[in-house]
Amino acid sequence: MSAVNERLAELAELGRHENGIDRALGTPQERAARERFAAWARARNYALTQDRVGNLFARRAGTREGARPILVGSHLDTVPTGGAYDGAYGVVAAICALEALDERNAATEHPVDAVAWVGEEGGRFLLGCLGSSVFTGAHDVERALSLQDSEGVTLRDALASPEGGLLDGVPMREEMRVAAYVELHVEQGPVLEREAVPLGVVTAIAGQRRYRVVIDGTSGHAGTVPMARRGDALCAAAELILAVERAAIVAGESVATVGRLVVEPNGTNVIPARTTFSVDIRSPHDDRIEAVEKALREAATEAQARRRVNTSVERLESRAPAPMDPKLRATLHKAVAALDLKAIDVPSGAGHDAMCLSRIAPTAMLFVPSIGGRSHVAEEETSPEDLETGVTALVASIIEVDKFVI
């Protein structure tokens, strides 16, 4: 087995259970993945640093004094019951790429950092792309550290704990300005497989907004309260959820998902008192996201008036669509073509740390095919050959990008 496949198999054991892999930020399983990354970096003497939220950087030195680093990486956390490739692939591939540069004795002018961003999925602390948001200044570090999980544990406490916290003996990163960012990721959609090409160069990443909706109704006995007098928080939630679904269909080129719903007190014979749910809206067009948000807010206002409930819609996160850098995309195409590999342009419906990095540096992404287009499920898979091809393309891309960026 090649190094990239071996290491992915190793990471897949961390957090594995019968329904998939759980590796949320600040848990022992996620920390163990960061430890693995650190061990791979130390084995090659790459200069390893971390920052206050746990992002890890393994640096292969460059030859030009004062040159900014090229960053290459992705994330190590997973969604609940996630798979082995989303994020982990890009991190493992980044380390493998640095090693491949060593093996070829390939000097680069710029330092090249393999990066493991933390908390990209936003499962535990709700803010997606947490590590890269803090790194790029999109979110204040103190605000991020004050975020709480559903049990009231702050990120600050999670990162201070020996079980899930920052790594011991790894120095804090110094300020850095970035020359370019390249992220390799599994496509998570069906296009590359359908087109039978091994690589995609991402054109743009869809914009996204996330919300927490809370509906407070009135609890009561399921057998005695007449239908006309109820303030059922779950029935109101059902209306809002379907309104969001309809709005995304009507807006077109947009998707909306309610993936998390908590019902309280959650008893079979008790009228629901409170529902809390997430809404995730995405589109390549900001105005369509806006239209779906408007429909959500209108449905909330309308349900409040008609159903004897209180509703609150809180926007937790908003990211504009992120076009990838045209010159860097062309550089990736050139690198891939020189390897005699085929690549096509593809958009990304999924979010990535590259969205944040694109705010501060030329940024581009490479995709490899996902079998059946499946992702965010335990069954997500990419063939071992495609995973290796992606690493080869990444190495060639780093060498080209090193020539192109200042």
Contacts to ligand GLV by CB under 6 A: 121, 128, 350-351
Report the nearest approach of ligand GLV to the CB of residue 366 (Å). 16
Residue nearer to ligand GLV on the CB measure, 164 or 351: 351
Report the nearest approach of ligand GLV to the CB of residue 351 (Å). 3
Residue nearer to ligand GLV on the CB measure, 121 or 293: 121
**Among residues 282, 291, 211, which one has the least CA distance to residue 247?**
291
Report the nearest approach of ligand GLV to the CB of residue 205 (Å). 9
Distance CA 266, CA 220 (A): 12
**Residue 111 touches which member of Mn ion, ligand GLV, none, C-beta under 5-8 Å by kind:** none
**The length of the chain, given as a count of residues:** 406
Distance CA 318, CA 293 (A): 11
**Residue 128 touches which member of ligand GLV, Mn ion, none, C-beta under 5-8 Å by kind:** ligand GLV
For residue 348, report the phi and psi dihedrals to the nearest 5 degrees: -115, 120
Report the nearest approach of ligand GLV to the CB of residue 128 (Å). 6
Taking CB under 5 A as the rule, does residue 390 contact Mn ion?
A: no
**Residue 371 touches which member of ligand GLV, Mn ion, none, C-beta under 5-8 Å by kind:** none
Instruction: Decide: 180 and 354 in contact? Cβ < 8 Å.
Output: no
Q: What separation in angstroms does the CA of 308 have from each of 123, 263, 324, 348?
A: 31, 17, 47, 41
Report the nearest approach of Mn ion to the CB of residue 384 (Å). 19
Residue at shortest CB range from ligand GLV: 351
Residue nearer to ligand GLV on the CB measure, 69 or 321: 321
Report the nearest approach of ligand GLV to the CB of residue 56 (Å). 19
**Among residues 289, 266, 263, 288, which one has the least CA distance to residue 274?**
263
Residue nearer to ligand GLV on the CB measure, 213 or 235: 213
Distance CA 263, CA 233 (A): 8
Residue nearer to ligand GLV on the CB measure, 81 or 161: 81
Report the nearest approach of ligand GLV to the CB of residue 64 (Å). 35
Site for Mn ion (CB under 5 A): which residue of 15, 20, 26, 87? Answer: 87
**Among residues 405, 324, 303, 304, which one has the least CA distance to residue 366?**
324
* DSSP class of 207: E
Residue nearer to ligand GLV on the CB measure, 32 or 255: 255
Taking CB under 5 A as the rule, does residue 86 contact Mn ion?
A: yes
Q: Would you tell me how many other CB atoms lie within 10 Å of the CB of residue 150?
A: 11
**Residue 339 touches which member of Mn ion, ligand GLV, none, C-beta under 5-8 Å by kind:** none
For 399, the token pair is 């060498």
Residue nearer to ligand GLV on the CB measure, 208 or 331: 208
Distance CA 222, CA 9 (A): 49
Distance CA 45, CA 30 (A): 23
Residue nearer to ligand GLV on the CB measure, 111 or 128: 128
Report the nearest approach of ligand GLV to the CB of residue 122 (Å). 7
Report the nearest approach of Mn ion to the CB of residue 80 (Å). 11
Taking CB under 5 A as the rule, does residue 280 contact Mn ion?
A: no
Report the nearest approach of ligand GLV to the CB of residue 100 (Å). 27
Terminal C-alpha separation, the chain: 37
Q: What separation in angstroms does the CA of 338 have from each of 158, 341, 342, 346, 396?
A: 46, 7, 10, 20, 9
Residue nearer to Mn ion on the CB measure, 86 or 388: 86
Q: What separation in angstroms does the CA of 37 have from each of 77, 170, 214, 387?
A: 12, 12, 39, 18
User: Which helix (H) or strand (E) covers residue 58, if one does?
Assistant: strand 56-60
**Residue 380 touches which member of Mn ion, ligand GLV, none, C-beta under 5-8 Å by kind:** none
* Selected range binding Mn ion among 36-44, 82-90, 200-208, 211-219, rule: CB under 5 A: 82-90
Residue nearer to ligand GLV on the CB measure, 62 or 200: 200
**Among residues 367, 369, 355, 372, which one has the least CA distance to residue 393?**
367
**Residue 351 touches which member of Mn ion, ligand GLV, none, C-beta under 5-8 Å by kind:** ligand GLV
Interface positions with Mn ion (CB under 5 A): 86-87
